[in-house]
Amino acid sequence: MIPLRMRRLRRTAATRALVREHHVRADALVQPLFVAERAQDCGPVASMPGIARLSLAATVDEARALHALGIGAVLLFGIPAHKDAQAASVADPEGIVQRAIRALKTELPELTVMADLCACEYTDHGQCGLLDARGDVDNDRTVDLLVRTALTYARAGVDVVAPSDMMDGRVGAIRAALDAEGFTQVAILAYSAKYASAFYGPFREAAGSSGPAIDRRTHQMDPPNLREAMREIALDVAEGADAVMIKPGLAYLDVVRAARERFDLPIAVYNVSGEYAMLHAAFERGWLERDRSIDETLTAFVRAGADIVITYFAKDWAQRHDR
């Protein structure tokens, strides 16, 4: 028998490129951006080296640079001047995210603008919505608030709304409200399988949404569950989601793969703040090779079956690779 020699196609860089099965692409990457309403809230996020809370003007500049690098989209998070128990500023037509959407769609009409839709950055208690008498997030009142907020994003010109709250029924309610106002072209990227994860820690510093004892386990998913994720995705598809998301990424690649095998709509994965912080902590200590570790991480998402990768590494990756 002629021996099979697997190493033949690994000999040169060109041959390896020829047989490469998966590719990360800048136009499939999404860079999250934190836009702060007040100057005093702008500045670096300590646990996320290279990431900062930006002013509105700096957000537009950064988006312009990302667009020039060929990045697929930006995902906006707001740091409002005012927080209260009712998250009053989330649905303000003059709120920071609404203003950022308008500025970006005016200055960079070709750039896809996504907006995260959740109340957690707007509540003084840091929870994802309005609380009931027991202190739990009140599902249906929160859905009403999200629907009103989604409409303000749509009126500002957003391309994609991304509800990250994990309330039941929100995708259908948002879709119906958008359509009723004529925003049939605004897409919904649903955070469908969002787990109650320890890996969101640095984000909560970035977004200033870390209340004393925030427990999101009554609405976000329990980490050991895979079949439940398929049910969540199926529900959001039935309610009209245009694309679905799995979050976090690295510890949930099996969920991405299972979703890929089951569903034909676009699948996004969120390479979250803790995954970013974890790698940077190792880079700072000289324990991991920086560029290769980042590239290998992003490749894993694509290989697992994700179409869209939301990552704080998007700009870094695009700066280091030719289009």
Tokens of 162: 């991304």
**Distance from C-alpha of 150 to C-alpha of 91, rounded to nearest angstrom:** 8
Q: Return the amino acid letter for 157.
A: G
Output the smallest distance, CB 118 to ligand PBG, in A: 3
- Rounded to a whole number of angstroms, the distance between the first and last alpha carbons of the chain is 44
Cβ count within 10 A of residue 237: 18
Report whether 15 contacts 9 (CB < 8 A).
Answer: yes
Is 105 considered catalytic here?
Answer: no
Looking at beta carbons only, is 75 or 318 nearer to ligand PBG? 75
Strand partners, 74: 31, 113
**Distance from C-alpha of 306 to C-alpha of 293, rounded to nearest angstrom:** 18
| Residue 200 contacts ligand PBG per CB under 6 A | yes
Looking at beta carbons only, is 17 or 213 nearer to ligand PBG? 213
Contacts of 270 (CB under 8 A, 6+ apart): 191, 245, 246, 247, 248, 249, 310, 311
Looking at beta carbons only, is 89 or 164 nearer to ligand PBG? 164
| Residue 130 contacts ligand PBG per CB under 6 A | no
Is 247 considered catalytic here?
Answer: yes
Find tokens 């919904």 and name the residue. 188
Output the smallest distance, CB 216 to ligand PBG, in A: 6
Collapsed DSSP state (helix, strand, coil) of residue 82:
coil
Output the smallest distance, CB 267 to ligand PBG, in A: 17
Output the smallest distance, CB 28 to ligand PBG, in A: 18
Output the smallest distance, CB 200 to ligand PBG, in A: 4
Site string for ligand PBG, 210-239 (x = CB under 6 A): ------x-----------------------
| Residue 150 contacts ligand PBG per CB under 6 A | no
Candidate segments 1-9, 150-158, 199-207, 291-299, binder of ligand PBG by CB under 6 A? 199-207
Candidate segments 13-21, 53-61, 115-123, 299-307, binder of ligand PBG by CB under 6 A? 115-123
Report whether 168 contacts 224 (CB < 8 A).
Answer: no
Contacts of 220 (CB under 8 A, 6+ apart): 166, 194, 195, 196, 197
Which residue ranges make up the site for ligand PBG (CB under 6 A)? 116, 118, 120, 164, 200, 203-204, 216, 272-273
Q: Active-site residues: which are they?
A: 194, 247
